[in-house]
Amino acid sequence: MNKPVVVPEETLTEPVVVADVASAVPKPSAGPAYIVLAGISFSHFLNDTMQSLIASVYPILKDTYALDFAQIGMITLAFQFTASLLQPVVGHYTDKKAQPYSLSIGMASTFFGLLLLSAAHQYLVILVAAALVGLGSAVFHPESARIARLASGGRYGFAQSVFQLGGSFGTSMGPVLAALIVVPFGQGSIAWFSSIAFLAILILWRIGRWYAPQITTKKEKPIHAHPDGPSSRRVAVALLVLVALLFSKQLYVSSLSSYYIFYLIDRFGVSTQAAQIYLFIFLAANAVGAFFGGPLGDRFGRKIVIWISIVGALPFTLALPHAGLYASAVLSVIIGLIISSTTSSIIVFAQELVPHRFGMISGVFFGVAFGIGGLGAAVLGKLADHTSIEFVYQVCAYLPAIGLLAVFLPKLPQHAR
């Protein structure tokens, strides 16, 4: 006879019923499965390396096709809006029926998107290629986040940070590879990076073989609210606050990722290749900060890390528009280290608030991050066309102040911090 399920203490919602699902709430192994974590993190590195190429080749596309900043922003929107729209859908579906081999299939979309981008000679084709890469991202993130949690051994923040480290470091590599390969050899050289997508397909197929036996079907059983957890209303408010915090963080990072190169060229007169190196410095600092944020959240509590990482970046973002070239590089490192440390804590916090909708929540938050970045890039590009890049950075400097909304986050029970 089946015994009633007692949900871990991190469950914070009102009692609900979970229908027959596959891995609705991933159960971690006895200890972290380091090989799996390394594999999924490396795949995240490969995935985001290819994605970051899009923003890194903007100067080439702008000069070749005489694009304005608004059109550049639309390319970012085409890529990120595709991912934003589909990630919650993918997460919701895999909550009901896990798809261990969907990761490698989704990576095939990125593979074809890169080939199309390398051969595109019309603006519309460029948009389609960017959307295909975004589609690959939509499939990759929700299920890979589930696998990272499953392999965490209970160290959820650590596992999320390892997963995020791969993505952040991959994002930082895009400008370097663009400076070394795409700038000297032209748009067609983007096709060479399809080999990276093929490698990712092979790795993700092997991870899918590990994941498939981990999937267990759970019968319909009640999930009970944690007695010390917040009410369903406070959970809803907390999720809205977390979205707002991710908005402030992601929009600021998006402003630097999409337009930092143009800002440095316009204000300091540096070359395109030199500007790409400065962008790499900022994105590399983001990768380091993303790694340390999760373990710090495990140790001291995620709410504390969220407070420090967003509001703590405000003095430095306010100083950046008024700094010289080398001071800007130093400030970008400090900003990247501080502001990126919140990503893992925000995502794990949200997952712990609604653990029975793990895939959907992961998809929503990864999707919101991409969607906000894409929409913000388009709006900021339009603003830059009517004012200047420097004005855009003066406006964006105030975004971390939204982090003050963290005061409305509930205190989680000790075992779900």
Which residue(s) pair with 306 in the sheet? none
Find, among 146, 132, 152, 144, the residue nearest to 103 by Cα. Answer: 144
User: DSSP E strands: which ranges in 128-273?
Assistant: 217-218, 221-223
**What pLDDT does 333 receive?**
93
Tell me the C-alpha distance between 73 and 389, whole Å.
Answer: 13
Which residue(s) pair with 22 in the sheet? 217
- Range scoring the smallest mean pLDDT among 26-40, 93-107, 165-179, 304-318: 26-40
Residue 172's φ and ψ, nearest 5 degrees, are -70, -25
pLDDT at residue 319 tops 90: yes
Would residue 331 count as lying in a domain? yes
Would residue 24 count as lying in a domain? no
Tell me the C-alpha distance between 252 and 248, whole Å.
Answer: 6
258, amino acid identity: S
Highest-pLDDT range among 51-55, 264-268, 380-384: 264-268
Residue 277 or residue 231, greater confidence:
277
Contact 286, 336 (CB under 8 A): yes
**What pLDDT does 201 receive?**
92
Give pLDDT tens digits for 332-343: 999 999 988 888
> And the tokens for 136?
């690959």
Q: What is the pTM of this model?
A: 0.65
Would residue 417 count as lying in a domain? no
Residue 32 or residue 248, greater confidence:
248
- Range scoring the smallest mean pLDDT among 181-185, 221-225, 354-358, 374-378: 221-225
Alpha helices in 215-357 (DSSP H): 232-268, 272-300, 302-311, 314-319, 325-339, 342-353
Would residue 9 count as lying in a domain? no
pLDDT at residue 400 tops 80: yes
Find, among 19, 4, 28, the residue nearest to 217 by Cα. Answer: 19
Percent of the chain, pLDDT > 70? Answer: 84
Would residue 4 count as lying in a domain? no
Find, among 350, 344, 381, the residue nearest to 254 by Cα. Answer: 381
**What pLDDT does 324 receive?**
92
Tell me the C-alpha distance between 170 and 41, whole Å.
Answer: 10
Placement of tokens 């502001």 in the chain: 339
Task: Look at phi and psi of residue 31 and say left if phi exceeds 0, alpha if psi is from -120 to 50, else beta.
Answer: beta
pLDDT at residue 22 tops 50: no
Mean of pLDDT values over 165-190? 80
**What pLDDT does 171 receive?**
75
- The enclosing domain of 298 has a CATH number of 1.20.1250.20
Would residue 7 count as lying in a domain? no
- How would residue 243 be classed by pLDDT, with cut points 50, 70 and 90? confident
Tell me the C-alpha distance between 107 and 239, whole Å.
Answer: 29
Contact 257, 279 (CB under 8 A): yes
Residue 15: how many other CB atoms lie within 10 Å: 11
pLDDT at residue 220 tops 50: no
**What pLDDT does 327 receive?**
94
Contact 256, 332 (CB under 8 A): yes
Contact 348, 156 (CB under 8 A): yes
Q: Could you give the 3-state DSSP secondary structure of residue 16?
A: strand
Domain count, the chain: 1
Mean of pLDDT values over 31-49? 86
Mean of pLDDT values over 168-177? 77
Give the distance, in angstroms, between the CA of residue 134 and the centroid of all CA atoms in the same chain: 12
**What pLDDT does 202 receive?**
92
DSSP code of residue 213: G
Would residue 1 count as lying in a domain? no
Mean of pLDDT values over 218-223? 44
Alpha helices in 97-122 (DSSP H): 102-119
Containing structural domain, residue 44:
30-220+228-412
Find, among 274, 276, 15, 29, the residue nearest to 156 by Cα. Answer: 29
- Range scoring the smallest mean pLDDT among 34-48, 148-162, 209-223: 209-223
Would residue 3 count as lying in a domain? no
